[in-house]
Structure 1
């Protein structure tokens, strides 16, 4: 059984949603309409915008709406970074024989809610990180996968695995969101390292 953390460490310093123009296909830029390309598959601008909208809608429905919106100045960029990181972690887990069962997910979600003070409180914890309620299970699954990799391989080796996997996936990012750094596992503007943990993540560990 995997010991769990309740929040993915890919924390949020997030951002107002800006309309994202189509790119022209040149150089290393993604194909038109892509926010990023990962392993030859596009993360489209519309997919990114849909996730950002889900966060914004949840923020506006929160009692702390003004604070949450004001404190998420790079939401589009950070959401895209998380979407890419989830794909890298998922691939690294698969390549190293890691899988998370539905039962483990249910237990982890229940434990996280209990530690946070209930389902509403847990949603608030994730919303602080720019994660919409509908994406909490994805975040927990990725954290379980990463925790299992850490336990099996150790921190130094996991960083190597993430970097290698990131390179193998040939990640290209729309320049408006930054330039992807395989070693850091982020678009360079965010400067968010693979294994850095946020205060919220540490509190929920």
Structure 2
């Protein structure tokens, strides 16, 4: 048995990317979305704007009567996708107040380094901090792939763990705020008596 050459591997990869995808018809009736990918290569080249438009077209971004009537559901979480990385927002706020250009250059270099690391990591681990653009598109593409029945588009364990961690942190934060409000109310009530 001979090992495949690089040329053979490339030919196999190209053949794989040429695989045709069956278009999905929207409910209740209609033509497939104009940006619905015809091949696996087109699927991998979908932009975030196209993925958002497709999710909306197939009733996935805003739940309705047809959302769960497709063979699979995208579970499109607009709140999760809308979050920005907290560090970026804080840096921009701080940058608008500082005139030191050397600090600004260091900040940009640090952000670029962080973004380079995020590309290497599996997507969607840092839900509590928000998602980078790369993570957001990777998750949307995976969700769309699962929706149309592509293999290996299952939700990774890291994403589930990240979402659970973010939900628990939010619940703890809300409980702490509620407890603080109750203590303040109790303190005001005791002062009135």
More helix by share: 2
Q: Rg bigger for which structure?
A: 2
TM range (shorter): under 0.3
More strand by share: 1
The TM-score with structure 2 as length reference comes to 0.27
Greater RCO between the two (CA within 8 Å, min separation 6)? 1
The TM-score with structure 1 as length reference comes to 0.26
